[in-house]
Each structure stands twice: as structure tokens, then as C-alpha cells.
Amino acid sequence: MSSSKRGAFIVIEGLDRSGKSTQASLLHERLQDSQDVATTPKVVLLKFPDRTTAIGKMIDAYLRSESELDDRAIHLLFSANRWELASTITAHLAEGTTVLADRYAFSGIAFSARKGLPYEWCRTPEIGLPAPDLTLFLNISPEVAAARGGYGLERYEREEVQKGVRHVFDKIGQAMQDEGEGKWVGIDAGKTKEEVAEELWKAVEPLVGGVQGPISRLWETTLTPDVQGGS
Ligand code: Z5A
Ligand code: MG
């Protein structure tokens, strides 16, 4: 990688049971294989929510219905769970490491807006997070998702929830494209694991050698001057 390049930030988002974690893991392996430096890890895989941190443990208890939280409180915890890793992401990218994330801010907005919280309110705590260079959105029909097994025991794993989430994700994807906020690529995740992996690789391969330019921040341009402390 040339010294003027930084690592790429790649996010995998998508509908329930679309195979995000499966593909994140396959992509992680393939990226590791495509890099020749054995001494330092040049690709890291993160998963959101990161249930290992103190905040992540609160999220985990909520998802397992072991605790109850106000809708806004859990939204802010999911966001805080990303913010506690924001400087780590930035540091990895700056040193040339590719960062792969299994879910990110877009899941946060989709699940909370589906509950009826205002879209803009949901988006606000995510403003300023490291922005992905590429978001791969795994799309799957409800029929194919259903064929992958019944819903689990966690909160949100119900058909009507997933329908609402799909609707908000469509809105986010459209807005990302309209606003030019990093590349958003829809992937047909109803194919075999190998076929989906190939589709992902086509989008990811150009970023393997790193990307030019500074790390941008999510939706930062939407901040008004008075919010930024300007005149
Ligand atoms: N949430 C939120 O509200 N706010 C936030 O900010 C964030 C998340 C970040 C837990 O997330 C919940 O948190 C989630 C959103 C909410 N609620 N829901 N629903 P999670 O990431 O921990 O959720 P998960 O348990 O990992 O489920 P998932 O992500 O929806 O699944 P997936 O990763 O997309 O699928 P998978 O585990 O890779 O595969 C599912 C099954 O399908 C598995 O048996 C695979 O072997 C199979 N599979 C995968 N690909 C294929 C293909 N191509 N063909 C056939 N079978 C396949
Ligand atoms: Mg998953």
C-alpha cells in the first residue's frame, strides 16, 4: 500500500438472516489472504452491537429481554457502543488497516425509527462517527429469510418488526445515495453463500490496496454552523 493511502472502512448491513455475519467472516478471511504482511493484522472485523463492553452488556441484557429500557435510552446505548470504538476505527484506518464492520449506524436508525421515534432524532447521535467508504446492504425477501429457519428468541426477531425495519433501511439507502455519503451497494443475499461472497468481493476488491483521502465523518456536512460553534 502506498504511504498516502489509508485503510478502507467497509460496513455490512442488511435484513435479518440475510447472512451478514456469515459474509463478514468470509470477507474477513479473504481480505486476510489477499494481504501479504504476516506480522501485523491488516484487517480487523468488528461487530455491532459489541456485547463485550460495559455498554454492550447492557444492550445484550435488553435484547435478551432480561431488562427493560426506554426506547430512547436503548437507542443512545447502541450509538454509544459505536462511539466507544470510533477512535479505534479511526486509528486502524490511519495506519492502513482495513476495518470491516458487521452492522453499524444504519441498523441503529432502522430499528429505532421502526418503533416510531423520529428519523432525524435517531440519526443525530450517529452524526460524526467514522463514515464507511463502502456499505454493502444484503437484501433478502421475507420468503427466503423464512426458509432459513424460524425467528429466534431475541427482541425484534418478529416478522412485523422486520417489515418495518426493511422500510426504514430502504429510506436510509436512498438518502445515502442522494447525499453522496459513501458508496451504498445493494446485494442480492438470496443466492448461495458462495455466490453472495463473490458479489461482495466485486465491490470490495478495488478497496483492498487502501483508499486515498481523509477519513470522513458520517453526515457531518448536515451540521449547521451554530451547532459547530461557528458564527
Ligand atoms: N440492533 C439495533 O437495534 N440497533 C443497533 O444499533 C444495532 C443492532 C447495531 C442484534 O443484532 C439485534 O440488535 C438486531 C438488530 C439490533 N435485532 N434483530 N433482529 P445482531 O447483529 O447480534 O443479530 P444476529 O443475531 O447476528 O442476527 P442477524 O444479524 O440478523 O443474522 P445475520 O448475521 O444476517 O445472518 P447469519 O447469522 O450470517 O446467517 C443466518 C442463518 O442463515 C445461518 O444459519 C446461516 O448459516 C444461514 N445462511 C447465511 N447465508 C446463507 C445463504 N446464502 N444461503 C442459505 N443460508 C444462509
Ligand atoms: Mg449477524
The CATH number of the domain holding residue 79 is: 3.40.50.300
Closest-CA residue to 104 (of 138, 78, 143): 78
pTM of full prediction above 0.85: yes
**What's residue 111's pLDDT?**
97
Q: Is residue 218 part of a domain?
A: no
Residue 211 DSSP class: B
**What's residue 96's pLDDT?**
94
- Is there an atom of ligand 1 within 6 Å of 192 CB? yes
Closest-CA residue to 28 (of 211, 187, 196, 204): 204
Q: Is residue 150 part of a domain?
A: yes
Kindly report the protein residue whose alpha carbon is nearest to atom 5 of ligand 1.
Answer: 108
Q: Is residue 229 part of a domain?
A: no
Q: Return the best residue to mutate from 84, 111, 115, 140 for the ligand 1 pocket (most ligand atoms within 8 A of CB).
A: 111
Q: Is residue 228 part of a domain?
A: no
In the chain, how many domains are there? 1
Residue type present at position 144: V
Sheet strand arrangement including 183-188: 43-47, 98-102, 9-14, 134-139, 183-188
Q: Is residue 227 part of a domain?
A: no
Q: Is residue 213 part of a domain?
A: no
Task: Give me ligand 2 centre to Cα 19, in Å.
Answer: 7
Model confidence at 230, pLDDT cuts 50, 70, 90, reads low
Model confidence at 39, pLDDT cuts 50, 70, 90, reads very low
The domain of 186 spans 5-207
Residues in the chain: 231
Residue 26 contacts residue 197 (beta carbons within 8 Å): yes
Determine if residue 14 is left, alpha or beta; phi over 0 gives left, psi from -120 to 50 gives alpha, anything else beta.
left
Q: Is residue 170 part of a domain?
A: yes
